[in-house]
Structure 1
Amino acid sequence: MDNNRIDIKNIPVKVETYKPEQPNQTKYASRDRIYVRSVKGLHQSLRRNMGFIFMALFMLLPWIQYNGSQAILLNIGEQKFNIFALTLWPQDFTILAWIFVIAAYALFFVTAFYGRVWCGYLCPQSVWTFIFMWFEEKIQGSRNQRMTLDQAPWTVSKFAKKALTHFCWLAFALLTSLIFVGYFTPVGPLFIEFFTFQAGFWAVISVLFFAACTYGNAGWMREIMCTHICPYARFQSAMFDKDTFTVTYDEKRGETRGPRSRKDKDYKEKGLGDCIDCNLCVHVCPTGIDIRNGLQYECINCGACIDACDDTMAKMGYPPGLISYTTEHSLNGKPTKVLRPKLVGYFVILLIVCAAFATNLYLRKPLELDIIRDRGALYRETPEGLIENTYTLSIINKSQQAKTYQLAVSGVNNYTWLGPTEITIAGGDSTNVPVSLALDPYSTAKPVLDIEFSVTELSDDGHKVSQGNKFFAGR
């Protein structure tokens, strides 16, 4: 018998799970509509001003002209992006990739430092949602008036207010959709052709599609985009730490909550904190959460609850900051470490990526050459007994000015050049130049020659590009 053997004994384990009885609750509860109350304050003024600047830039940039054409035109059909003096082609994909990488690490850095301020202040979903809520408030009234209106039976007045609200939503969604599509096609002709019913099929489909998305997201879905669809809300916790500034409720100061008179100066002796339980922080939250329940992924750090709470504290004669941008360490009486490894790491990587982007942009040549051989035959013999190879030189002028270039070839002697030796290409344009080289097969002993085509700019800059290829001598 093996003395080292350990006897196995089966131990029955019963796991009990607490499930509260909720007989009236369906499996999939319907979403409760959030009636957001307007609030004024420092953070909301900052958010509105930043949103206004963002929206103004979005609306005006497509209309700016540069060198007689649209300054920003992301022409997918022609596969080129014009951004003022910069023209990007499919060969410049790395530049766009660097831009996205920079944006990602900038977002990581800001999030690690100040939480989801991007979501609350500049995210397009938030900006458009707040604009739609502004229409709703101006037409249907304050929060309490909107709640009363929804509970009231349908009347002519209610129908008119609802219809006007949705008309404004649809009109603004259509306007912003036309502007957005105007980044990808000339914006002036797009507006004229759309409203005169002369726009192309794909232009109309694109405008209507993005208008419907804007209307649905900002008018109906709103916080659902932030809480269920946007992936940023899910992985943001990986960037948070105890030194990240987030919108936080000071539980030690605020609890225990309870109403009281403004003249009640002995509320602390009654065991009450500074929170008077007015629930304004909940009423002004665009995602409908109670910040007093602690940090939640639904919070977009817009600061609306801070302004509402500070206003209440001022009326009660209490110091502000019951809800504020602070850190977990600060709430626990510990010093906040701003320069910490995570934040420094994000910043260093951001600097490296920016440097790589600047280097890539600096080394980018405003001239591109690609050589395509005749696919029908490697070579052909002319009536004069010469061997001829045919090529197509695809030349791209990446600058915004017309340029003249000289074409040449090296690596072969005593050849005959058939085709233009100088060409002029408009700014931001490309052209294909058919070229043939003819050679006496007895002038070389090699069956295959290594040659190199070159394109040189005839200007003071003298940019030059070259690319190698083969010449088949037929021997």
Structure 2
Amino acid sequence: MGTPIQVHNIDTHDAKRHLNEKIHTRSFQGVFRRVRIIAGTFLFALFFGTVWLTWNDRQAVLWDLSAKKFHIFSSTFWPQDLVLLSAILIVCAFGLFFLTVWAGRVWCGYTCPQSVWMWVFMWVEKVSEGDRNQRKKLDQAPFTGLKVYKRFKKHGLWLLISVFTAITFVGYFTPIRDLVPALLTFQAGGSAFFWVFFFTLATYLNAGWLREKVCVHMCPYGRFQSSMLDKDSLVISYDVSRGEARGGRSLGSDYKAKGLGDCVDCQMCVQVCPTGIDIRDGLQIDCIGCAACIDACDSVMEKMGYEKGLIRYTSERELNGGRLHIMRPRLVAYGALLVAMVLTLGWAIASRPLVSFDVAKDRGLYRFNAQGEIENSYTLKIINKSHERKQFNVSVKGLEGLNLIGPSSINLRSGEKLELPLSVSVKPALLAESMAEIEFYLTQSKDSDLSLVAKSRFTGRVP
């Protein structure tokens, strides 16, 4: 299954400076930054746009807590389908395992909501207060009108983004087209205002103030990633054999004659890191795999006329002169299991019944009715999970001479739940035992293939 790769927990002042010092990241350009911007733009559009889509005169994606229904476009999930929703989460977890074995914390670096919102807030900080050195000087400067203005601008934009994020998130649980006007006119309920305030505060604190502390100290993913990585996992690494010994030099000088490697010790990789680590100390649990250090180092290598890739996505085996093994047992096992789970989940969702049918027997054992027959009472619970009105027929079998007392034909609207009380009777002479198993059948009038069965018991006194 592969030997786990070692992930270092560097215990130095520089590596832990984010515990007591604010990290000021430097602006940079590069391929991976563009990839992250594209991924972040897509996720922002998906998050803020999907909530406004409609499907069959309702919100396309909505967790309707009051009706206990979860709508995802043409599919509607009920509490009875909770096992399917749980299965979706399990499949996502295995997908993350597969991705980690293959390419490390690429999820954290490009698509994790904490990372995406953190980068957006850092961009706002740069726009409001300037680049790294300007922000450091501003922090040390006394409060003046200009400093107050810049801070007000930054925090105002942070709060604005947080409010939009909170309203959108709550809009996935309360219809967004009703929520927004209700909030603007102060007609929304207290719970709606509370949750909008709560998620506004959570977004503002997590992305604006806590930032990398969420990734380093609150998220458990970095703690167990070392058990999932192996020597062939693609992780961001510094090529020690090529970069050492570090040192400054003039452009075009014969630095190798001085015993220097390609690393000019410019600290750019540290200055652009959102968690404040030095990747040259080895792979660390604080690394979120954002590849900012790769972009920064490549830009320096290009200026110096050196080959790019001093810091790059590579594997421990390649760094040690070996050959990368892509098709290895652990990755294949995770991939095969993930494919099997996705196919099984897809089949389960596609084949799940759109009608729920259950029968509950009344607590009373039996009674004799006016015709002298033994009678039992039941409650039929029926849910129409489809998106159209359906007509059903109800029948009962299992004993000779059974009579159904109650409506035998019912109509249910889309999404309607019905608890139908009815009784079943039989002549005492036809009852051979005091307890017998009977079956209730629910068939759709226009679809002979739909026939659901719910078993129950009939009790009585044998003559």
Report the TM range for the smaller structure's normalisation. over 0.9
- 1:201 positional shift: 2.2
Q: For 1:395 and 1:402, how far apart are their aligned partners in 2?
A: 13
**Partner of 1:214 in structure 2?**
203
Q: Is the 8 A contact 1:439 1:473 kept in 2?
A: no
Q: Is the 8 A contact 2:404 2:425 kept in 1?
A: yes
Q: For 1:330 and 1:29, how far apart are their aligned partners in 2?
A: 31
Deviations 1:118-154 (A, max 9, x none): 0000001000101111111111111111111111000
Q: Which runs of 5+ in 1 are unaligned?
A: 1-19, 23-27
1:271 is matched by which residue type in structure 2? G
Normalising by structure 2, report the TM-score: 0.93
Matches within 5 A, 1:56-455: 56-264=45-253, 266-375=254-363, 377-455=364-442
Indicate whether 1:459 and 2:446 are aligned.
yes
CA RMSD of aligned residues (A): 1.9
Distance verdict in 2 for CA 1:197–1:52, change over 3 Å? same
Q: Is the 8 A contact 2:162 2:203 kept in 1?
A: yes
- 1:440 positional shift: 2.9
Q: Is the 8 A contact 1:177 1:211 kept in 2?
A: yes
- 1:461 positional shift: 6.5
Q: Is the 8 A contact 2:390 2:412 kept in 1?
A: yes
Q: For 1:37 and 1:424, how far apart are their aligned partners in 2?
A: 65
Q: Is the 8 A contact 1:365 1:463 kept in 2?
A: no
**Partner of 1:25 in structure 2?**
none
Secondary structure of the corresponding residue to residue 269 of structure 1: helix
Q: Which runs of 5+ in 2 are unaligned?
A: 1-10
Q: After the TM superposition, which of the residue ranges 281-290 and 354-363 deviates more from structure 2?
A: 354-363
Identical residues among aligned pairs (%): 45
2:407 is matched by which residue type in structure 1? P
Q: For 1:245 and 1:173, how far apart are their aligned partners in 2?
A: 34
Q: For 2:205 and 2:336, how far apart are their aligned partners in 1?
A: 40
Q: For 1:146 and 1:429, how far apart are their aligned partners in 2?
A: 58
Secondary structure of the corresponding residue to residue 211 of structure 1: helix
Q: Is the 8 A contact 2:298 2:309 kept in 1?
A: yes
Q: For 2:270 and 2:373, how far apart are their aligned partners in 1?
A: 86
Q: After the TM superposition, which of the residue ranges 278-287 and 254-263 deviates more from structure 2?
A: 254-263
Indicate whether 1:47 and 2:39 are aligned.
no
Q: For 1:227 and 1:342, how far apart are their aligned partners in 2?
A: 26
Q: After the TM superposition, which of the residue ranges 331-340 and 351-360 deviates more from structure 2?
A: 351-360
Q: For 1:427 and 1:57, how far apart are their aligned partners in 2?
A: 28
Indicate whether 1:473 and 2:460 are aligned.
yes
Distance verdict in 2 for CA 1:243–1:30, change over 3 Å? closer
- 1:164 positional shift: 1.8
Distance verdict in 2 for CA 1:364–1:29, change over 3 Å? closer
Distance verdict in 2 for CA 1:216–1:77, change over 3 Å? same
- 1:401 positional shift: 1.9
- 1:318 positional shift: 1.0
Q: For 2:248 and 2:99, how far apart are their aligned partners in 1?
A: 37
- 1:386 positional shift: 3.0
Deviations 1:302-359 (A, max 9, x none): 1111111111111111111111101111111111111111111111211222232133
Q: Is the 8 A contact 1:367 1:464 kept in 2?
A: no
- 1:29 positional shift: 9.9
Distance verdict in 2 for CA 1:190–1:152, change over 3 Å? same
Higher relative contact order (CA 8 A, sep 6+): 2
Distance verdict in 2 for CA 1:29–1:94, change over 3 Å? closer
Q: Is the 8 A contact 2:361 2:377 kept in 1?
A: yes
Which ranges of 4 or more aligned residues in structure 1 deviate by more than 3 Å? 412-416
Distance verdict in 2 for CA 1:461–1:213, change over 3 Å? farther
1:396 is matched by which residue type in structure 2? I
Normalising by structure 1, report the TM-score: 0.90
**Partner of 2:6 in structure 1?**
none
Distance verdict in 2 for CA 1:461–1:38, change over 3 Å? farther
- 1:229 positional shift: 0.9
